[in-house]
Structure formats: structure tokens, C-alpha cells
Amino acid sequence: MGIDNGKHDWSWWRSELITKWANSSWRFKMENAFESAIFNSEKDKPLNWFFKQKDRLSALHPDMSDTMINMKILRKCGGELENAIKSRCVEPSLTED
């Protein structure tokens, strides 16, 4: 692809990649991949699994906050792991002290 198109800056390449890959079938595939991914401590390496899910969500929802991404990924862990992480997270207070 680079040989055929010559030298271009990153914004041109980004635009070309979005045109080629950011279509409805790609979006469907990414959403299904995220929805079907459940963390399994016996077969998944935590950091690899987490960053793969983060990349999927960031690609699908570029404006989503890091907090929201983390919460969506946390829900994919389930069970004892989700509970253990939530119990150690410091959540901002909804009322002023």
C-alpha cells in the first residue's frame, strides 16, 4: 500500500485507514469481539487481555472516557475478580463533605 501511494503524512494515512476499515461490517466484528470476550485467568494474560479490550472500545467509541472504558472492561471480568477490584476502587463522592 505504501509503495502504491507514495509518501504522505499521518493524517492522510489515518483518513485512508478509516475509509478502508471503519465500515459497518468492521464495527459489527469489533462489537462482537468485545461482547464475546470474557476474562479467563487460566488462559488470558491480564495486561494483554485488558489492552485488547481497551483498543476495541477506543476504536468503536473514540470519545469515551477512560473511566467509562475501565468500567465496561471490568464488567467483562465478572465474579470474584470484578468484586475484588470494585471493592478496592476509590469512587468519587457524590456529595460534598
Q: For 24-53, write each residue's pLDDT tens digit.
A: 888 899 899 999 998 888 898 888 998 999
C-alpha cell at 34: 468485545
Query: 86: Cβ–Cβ under 8 A, 6 or more apart, which residues?
Result: 74
71 pLDDT exceeds 80?
Answer: yes
Q: How far is CA 96 from CA 29, 86, 92, 93, in A?
A: 43, 22, 10, 7
> Helices in the chain by DSSP H: which ranges?
2-5, 10-21, 24-36, 46-60, 66-77, 79-88
Kindly indicate the confidence band of residue 2, based on its pLDDT and cuts at 50, 70 and 90: low
What is the model's pTM? 0.65
